[in-house]
Amino acid sequence: MDFRTFYEANGYVVCKNLMPPELIDTLVKFYKQQIVSSKEPFYRQMTNTYEQNNLNEFGHVKQDFLDVHNYKNSPEFSTSVKQILCSDAMLNSLREITGSNSFKLMQSLLFDMSRETQPHQDSYI
């Protein structure tokens, strides 16, 4: 079964090994250096307010991060996010799955730990 058929039947597709590990390592490095340790408040999607990071006992940020592709005070981090979200590998997979040729990056979310949300799909379709 191809990706598009699977997606249409199940509402999701897992694309294993899509991103080179180096891109993910770079994102994690800048996330730890620039975001986790920051005292700056970040806008949170869950509360619609700016809040400083609240870490759990393992050092994970409990709150979500909204629009991480556009953090002007952390340009290396945001660039690493865009290198993944806007990569040829990502766009080609989205084309294969959806049949569309172009996409708009409207919002990005990052969760450092599970919010225990049931599996779902956010879509404007």
- Structure confidence at residue 122 (pLDDT): 67
Summarize pLDDT for 51-96 with one digit per residue, the tens.
999 999 999 999 999 999 999 999 999 999 999 999 999 999 999 9
Strand partners, 109: 66
Q: For the purposes of burial, counting CB atoms within 10 Å of the CB of 101, is it exposed (0-12), middle (13-18) or buried (19 or more)?
A: exposed
Q: Look over the chain and give the mean of its residue pLDDT values, rounded to a whole number.
A: 91
- The pLDDT of residue 123: 64
Point out which residues pair with 66 in neighbouring strands.
109
Amino acid identity of 53?
Answer: N
DSSP annotation of 63: S
Q: Is the dihedral of CA 17, 19, 21, 27 positive or negative?
A: negative
Note the pLDDT of residue 27: 97
Residue 119: phi and psi, rounded to 5, are: -55, 135
Separation CA 36–CA 54 (nearest Å): 9
